[in-house]
Amino acid sequence: DRLVATAADGEDQAVEAALRPKDLGEFVGQERVREQLDLVLKAARARGATADHVLLSGAPGLGKTTLSMIIAAEMGAPIRITSGPAIQHAGDLAAILSSLTEGEVLFLDEIHRMSRPAEEMLYMAMEDFRVDVIVGKGPGATAIPLELPPFTLVGATTRAGLLPAPLRDRFGFTGHMEFYAPAELQRVVHRSARLLDVEIGDQGAAEIAGRSRGTPRIANRLLRRVRDYAQVKADGVITREIAAQALDVYEVDARGLDRLDRAVLTALLKLFGGGPVGLSTLAVAVGEERETVEEVAEPFLVREGLLARTPRGRIATPAAWEHLGLVNDAGTAG
């Protein structure tokens, strides 16, 4: 339940439907993916064909689900949404595939977490629009081939490299989603504020954008918290000061670090002189589990160039000293 978590919580899910861009024109940023996808979809429409299978890779909250819905909308097709972990058995996948209508978009989130048998069934479905349904068990089992209507699979994964090559190769198009630049997130915030009927200035939107870790989902979440603050503590209008004050209260700092991130960094600097220090020692110093430090805090710190993982242990970069306003042993800040 961190404010800067990348996964959607219940409240996110409730509002995200209302905030989702409905077509490619409304979708902010990701120029390359947008342009390429636009061509793929236009070409398919011109041929009167079902669009090629699309693989979207990128961190959570960058807009993969949104893009899959846009693909369906642009193709005038219905969409079915499911995820790798939800498909336990190949039979679950067969049931979904056999109920698709012609041209339907099947969005498969976390496709890298599908079971092996389901994955193999998917190969054939993607390539030949056919599945073999196994009926019976043991020596008496028979495979009954089942024709499928042509459909478009949109697979989403955090990293395309996690997918086995045979699966990756069956996608006609792969889009790599990047973290958003602050100016792009500022546009996302403005757009969401308009939809939520919140008054916000450019500077206020920039302040929220700067703390959103390159992720639209986080930007939308911070916007809602700042809106609450503006309504309770001010006249409801979000200025730079209001946004900064609100997010200070929620302990999301100017660079988007939260309390846990800062605790890790502070321990590394103050207790271990900036490292190198082993992960376990660092975790004990912070009073957290190893996994929490490694999987929850570190990825963003590494991405921000504040912390480095080396064979000798974790070390702080000069930017870390600077960010926390501390001076290292050599007497130089930053």
Residues annotated within the binding site are: 19-20, 61, 64-66, 127-129, 170, 180, 217, 290, 309, 314
By CB under 6 A, the residues from 180 to 199 that bind ligand ADP are 188
By CB under 6 A, the residues from 98 to 137 that bind ligand ADP are none
Pattern 206-245, ligand ADP, x by CB under 6 A: ----------xx--x-------------------------
Kindly report each contact of residues 279-285 with a partner whose C-beta sits within 8 Å and lies 24 or more positions away, as own/partner: 279/313, 279/314, 281/313, 282/313, 282/314
Catalytic residue among 158, 174, 281, 292: 158
3-state helix, strand, coil split of the chain in percent (to 5) is 50, 15, 35
158 is catalytic: yes
Whole-angstrom Cα distance, residue 116 to residue 62?
Answer: 27
State the distance between the two ends of the chain, measured CA to CA, in whole angstroms: 32
Nearest to 103 by CA among 65, 52, 63, 164: 52
- 133 phi/psi in degrees, rounded to 5: -95, 125
In whole angstroms, the minimum distance from the beta carbon of 244 to ligand ADP comes to 22
Catalytic residue among 50, 109, 157, 258: 109
- The radius of gyration of the chain's CA atoms, rounded to the nearest angstrom, is 23
In whole angstroms, the minimum distance from the beta carbon of 25 to ligand ADP comes to 11
194 is catalytic: no
**Among the residue ranges 28-36, 43-51, 79-87, 287-295, the one whose residues contact ligand ADP (CB under 6 A):** 28-36
Pattern 49-88, ligand ADP, x by CB under 6 A: -----------xxxxxxx----------------------
Cβ atoms of 309 and 251 within 8 Å: the answer is: no
Q: DSSP for 49-82?
A: -PPPPEEEE--TTSSHHHHHHHHHHHHT--EEEE
**Among the residue ranges 27-35, 81-89, 238-246, 268-276, the one whose residues contact ligand ADP (CB under 6 A):** 27-35
Q: Residues in the site for ligand ADP, rule: CB under 6 A?
A: 16, 19-21, 27-30, 60-66, 188, 216-217, 220
